[in-house]
């Protein structure tokens, strides 16, 4: 199975020790594996960690949750937007969505396997 790596925002990290301690938790929350690499992108304000993923999420456990998607205006709009939103988090869209703040924010229901 092939893998790929991305950087995920981790808030400010002040040292390598802190990054190594927190990085695994952040990566796990995003269903990935922390590679041990990190860097500061805005001095004193923001860092990123490198997270590795398998190209095909696998596992016997599934969990579905709503993910913020910006405004969605219709079912047709959701069909275009939600698959990519869920994929960006490592999940798949289950066909459900709803508006949570009228005109401003909707959520897509994403299923994750781990």
Task: Show Cβ contacts of residue 25 under 8 Å, excluding neighbours closer than 6 positions.
Answer: none
Residues of the chain with pLDDT under 70: 57
pLDDT of residue 56: 73
Specify the pLDDT at position 100: 97
Q: Tell which residue, 90, 19, 6, has the closest CA to residue 50.
A: 6
* DSSP structure class, residue 22: H
Neighbours of 14 (CB within 10 A): 10
pLDDT of residue 57: 66
Domains delineated in the chain: 3-54 (3.30.1490.230), 62-113 (3.30.1490.230)
pLDDT for 31 equals 84
Task: Write down the pLDDT at residue 60.
Answer: 83
Model pLDDT, residue 30: 85
């Amino acid at each position: 199975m092939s893998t790929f790596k991305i950087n995920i925002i981790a808030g400010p990290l002040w040292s390598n020790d802190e990054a190594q301690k927190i990085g695994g938790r952040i990566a796990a929350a995003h269903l990935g594996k922390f590679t041990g690499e990190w860097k500061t992108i805005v001095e004193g304000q923001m860092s990123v960690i490198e997270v590795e993923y398998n190209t095909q999420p696998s596992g016997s456990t599934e969990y579905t949750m709503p993910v913020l998607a910006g405004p969605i205006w219709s079912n047709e709009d959701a069909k275009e937007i939600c698959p990519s939103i869920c994929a960006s988090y490592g999940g798949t869209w289950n066909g459900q969505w709803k508006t949570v703040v009228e005109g401003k924010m909707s959520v897509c229901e994403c299923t994750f396997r781990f």
